[in-house]
Amino acid sequence: MEIKANNPALKSWIEIKPDTDFSIQNIPFGVYKDSQIEHHACIAIGEYVMDLNALQHLHYFNGVNLPAHIFSAKHLNDFIALGKQTTRAVRDRISDLLTVENKELQNNEAHRKQIFRHQSDVQMLLPVHIGDYTDFYSSIDHATNVGKMFRDPENALLPNWKHLPVGYHGRASSIRVSGHRFHRPKGQTKPTDAPPVFGPCKLLDFELETAFIIGKSTKMGESISTEKADDYIFGMVLFNDWSARDIQTWEYVPLGPFLAKNFASTMSPWIVTLDALEPFRVEGYKQDPKVLPYLEYTGNKNIDINLEVLIQPENGEATMVSESNYKYMYWTAEQQLAHHTVNGCNVNVGDMMASGTISGPDKHQFGSMLELTWRGTTPIKLKDGSERKFINDNDTVIIKGHCKKGNVRVGFGECKAKALPAV
């Protein structure tokens, strides 16, 4: 299907730098506030946000069937729930208004002052109410690395790993939007040859992930096929599933992660629509052995999203420590959603499904400190000369991501958070 707003030939009358994440072909959705606005839906274009409530109030969406005040809600859930036909029409209309040929808004200075804000003058909010959150474990390179470290170097993957997308149910209440701070978690750890002890986590780690947002609800008993999955995915964000590795090692048997994961997660504020990501579809890993029929998925499976992780010490310069790519995922979002619902589990608009740590085959593409330093045995040196085995107090971790094809760049902005000392 041809998506009008994706046209690579489109040019905007808004000044857009070549390396911006927010080109006219992107138009990601978010929610902002400032000194006058408590919460309004918006989109990003160049260095600006466009207030969608103001656009609606000024009758720029008259050709789209939208409920009154849909863009003044605290979250985007109700807007997303209108369905892709409507959300796509909104994105197309915004694209029209921003094209250099369209003079409606371009020549109306009074309206521009009501609609546009500079991104530096606003605060981005959590874009959706997340009712439920699931985290998968779908990068074969990550799973292999972890298996080599903790189980068997010759037989790293567990027997089920290539047959189904492994996942666990996470904690939605502690997901925060980019820019937040959190305290180092505390919990039980088990020293070698000694009883368990309680105290602050010593092995704090980031996990480089993406996540997708559910855009269409189902009822209990319904399943979503891989072929229909894209109809239920509104868009994607960057995600950091913060992890306390020492707490995790002691607690995860037999039921999996708990306190090691639920203390904080970070998401980027902009939801890049699945529509905007379609031009960047690529083939993924060959799945061998052949998956069961309900997991089969034809066509281009993955998305070519360049991913970066930087560590910034307090008052210091950020150092890039990882460069990975979403295309290295073994299990796709469509397969994850099909597996999640095959037993009749219902999903709701705003639910979030995270990818799991995304690692590539080479060391510089590993998506966690656990892998990059190989359990702390090979520390990373930062630009200020200091070393890291894991994340220190007052370090800020920044995740960035973008797609690039020809002259078109579609990005996600930043996903960052600062780790404070334990309290």
Residues 51 and 160 in one domain: no
- 313 and 361 assigned to the same domain: yes
The pLDDT of residue 104 is 98
Mean pLDDT of 267-280: 98
Strands (E), 292-357: 302-303, 306-312, 319-325, 352-354
Q: Which of 125, 155, 182 is the last residue of a domain?
A: 125
Q: What is the pLDDT of residue 19?
A: 93
Query: What is the average pLDDT score of the chain?
Result: 97
| pLDDT of 291 | 96
Tens-place pLDDT, residues 65-120: 999 999 999 999 999 999 999 999 999 999 999 999 999 999 999 999 999 999 99
- Residues 103, 142 within the same domain: no
What would the mean pLDDT of 190-216 be, rounded to a whole number? 97
Percent of the chain with pLDDT over 90: 97
3-class secondary-structure state, position 418: strand
Same domain, 247 and 333: yes
Task: Tell me if 303 sits within 8 A of 411, measured CB to CB.
Answer: no
Region 391-414: mean pLDDT is 98
Q: Mark which of 84, 104, 125 sits at the end of a domain.
A: 125
pLDDT of residue 221: 98
374 and 290 in one domain? yes
- Dig out the tokens for 114 from the structure: 């009501």
**pLDDT for position 285:** 87
pLDDT in tens, 124-156: 999 999 999 999 999 999 999 999 999 899 999
Model confidence pLDDT, tens digit, residues 118-131: 999 999 999 999 99
Closest CA to 394 of 365, 418, 364: 418
What is the residue range of 11's domain? 4-125
Do 143 and 107 have their domain in common?
A: no
* Integer angstrom CA distances of residue 331 from 9, 136, 291, 338, 407: 33, 9, 10, 11, 29
Domain at 370, CATH number: 3.90.850.10
Phi, psi of 77 (to 5 degrees): -55, -45
The number of domains in the chain is: 2
Instruction: Say whether both 13 and 141 belong to one domain.
Output: no
Residue 371 has pLDDT above 80, yes or no: yes
Residue where a domain stops, chosen among 125, 150, 184: 125
**Do 139 and 20 sit in the same domain of this protein?**
no
* pLDDT score, position 398: 99
| Residue 1: predicted pLDDT | 73
Do 97 and 143 lie in one domain? The reply is no
Q: Are residues 195 and 304 in the same domain?
A: yes
| pLDDT score at 176 | 98
Q: Look up the CATH number of the domain holding residue 62.
A: 2.30.30.230
Q: Are residues 102 and 140 in the same domain?
A: no
Active-site residue set: 142
Q: Give the pLDDT score at 300.
A: 66
In angstroms, the Cα distances linking 351 to 6, 29, 134, 234 are: 26, 16, 8, 10
Whether the pLDDT of residue 419 is over 70: the answer is yes
In a shared domain, residues 66 and 174? no
With a cut of 80, say whether residue 338 has pLDDT above it: yes
What is residue 403's three-state secondary structure? strand
